[in-house]
């Protein structure tokens, strides 16, 4: 990856980039985008140079110049003919990624909320076989999350729901609801994600599916920023999102007990 130091010359910097490229082959960054014109470039700049072999942005009918900005930056763009929602956007993201030769796929929101510099660490955990799925944990400490701008109500719901889901699903994740995620290719090939919700519940469903399929999930701390341009969901939609997770968990249990077949877990 790029080394930033005043004591290193240009040749050493470029050597660092080459090493990063060699150690991170076959990586696709997918960006589910909606009105990200003013944050996209800053997000892209945080990625180490030559880190990803593919950068793909899926535009969900933005009303600003997200598409033009992405093309100006040299990003591959796929445009939805109509707005499909966050889950629908991810479906296109992962389908497009599987059409490449990438062995690792990283979903990065183009709103610059998550610190993209940790992406190579997430990829490394998958390359080493330690994890199949890696999440960016936004809540290393309570004070850090709140001082970073996370609303108090969102923090409380996150802590309660993450604790509950860890208990129910046998996991030990620090943030069950992070939108910064890395997947091995096998995860995306095996999980029938096109059966999932078109809305924010998609994230919950996908993790429950990954657990049901026996994939190894881990997380690492990631600094985040909360500001007007960063994407966020309202309290009402957060409640609906939580209920979607409960529904998916119940469906998984019914499917495993052979009480009701569910295509999401087949």
Model pLDDT, residue 228: 63
Residue 196 structure tokens? 């999932």
CA distances from 208 to 20, 39, 129, 205, 211 (A): 32, 31, 20, 5, 5
Average pLDDT over the chain, rounded to an integer? 85
Model pLDDT, residue 21: 43
On the question of pLDDT at 9 being above 50, the answer is no
Model pLDDT, residue 8: 35
Model pLDDT, residue 256: 79
Is the model more confident about 240 or about 183?
Answer: 183
Nearest to 244 by CA among 208, 190, 210: 208
Determine how many CB atoms are found less than 10 A away from the CB of residue 7: 6
Is the model more confident about 13 or about 69?
Answer: 69
Rg of the chain (C-alpha set): 18
Tell me the mean pLDDT in the region 171-175: 92
What does CATH list as the number for 15-265?
3.90.550.10
Model pLDDT, residue 231: 55
Q: What is the DSSP string of 97-145?
A: HHTTT-SEEEE--TTS-B-GGGHHHHHHHHHTTS-SEEEEES-SSHHHH
Is the model more confident about 241 or about 121?
Answer: 121
Model pLDDT, residue 129: 96
Sequence-ordered list of residues with C-beta below 8 angstroms from that of 92, at least 6 positions apart, any chain: 58, 78, 80, 84
**Structure confidence by residue, pLDDT tens digits, 125-143:** 999 999 999 999 988 888 8
Q: Quote the distance between the C-alpha of residue 174 and its chain's center.
A: 15
**Structure confidence by residue, pLDDT tens digits, 64-91:** 999 999 999 999 999 999 999 999 999 9
Q: Quote the distance between the C-alpha of residue 102 and its chain's center.
A: 16
- What residue spans define the domains of the chain? 15-265
Sign of the torsion formed by the C-alpha atoms of 128, 134, 140 and 144: positive
Model pLDDT, residue 20: 43
């Amino acid at each position: 990856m790029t080394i930033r130091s005043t004591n290193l010359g240009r040749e050493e910097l470029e050597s660092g980039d080459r090493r990063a490229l060699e150690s991170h082959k076959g990586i696709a960054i997918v960006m589910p985008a909606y009105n990200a014109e003013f944050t996209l470039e800053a997000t892209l700049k945080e990625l180490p140079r030559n880190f990803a072999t593919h950068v793909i942005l899926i535009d969900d009918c933005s009303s600003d110049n997200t598409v033009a900005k992405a093309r100006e930056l040299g990003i591959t763009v796929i445009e939805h003919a109509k707005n499909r929602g966050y889950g629908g956007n991810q479906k296109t993201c992962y389908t497009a990624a599987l059409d490449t030769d990438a062995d690792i796929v990283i979903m990065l929101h183009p709103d610059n909320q998550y610190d993209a510099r940790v992406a190579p660490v997430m990829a490394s955990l998958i390359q080493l076989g330690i994890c199949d799925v890696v999440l960016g944990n936004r809540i290393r400490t309570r004070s850090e999350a709140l001082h970073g701008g996370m609303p108090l109500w969102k923090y409380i719901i996150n802590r309660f729901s993450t604790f509950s889901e860890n208990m129910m699903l046998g996991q030990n994740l620090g943030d069950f609801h992070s939108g910064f995620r890395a997947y091995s290719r096998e995860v995306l090939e095996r999980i029938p994600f096109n059966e999932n919700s078109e809305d924010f519940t998609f994230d919950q469903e996908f993790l429950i599916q990954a657990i049901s399929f026996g994939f190894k999930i881990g997380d690492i701390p990631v600094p985040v920023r909360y500001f007007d341009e960063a994407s966020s969901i309202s309290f009402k939609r957060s409640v609906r999102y939580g209920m979607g997770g409960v529904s998916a968990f119940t469906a998984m249990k019914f499917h495993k007990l052979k009480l009701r077949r569910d295509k999401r877990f087949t």
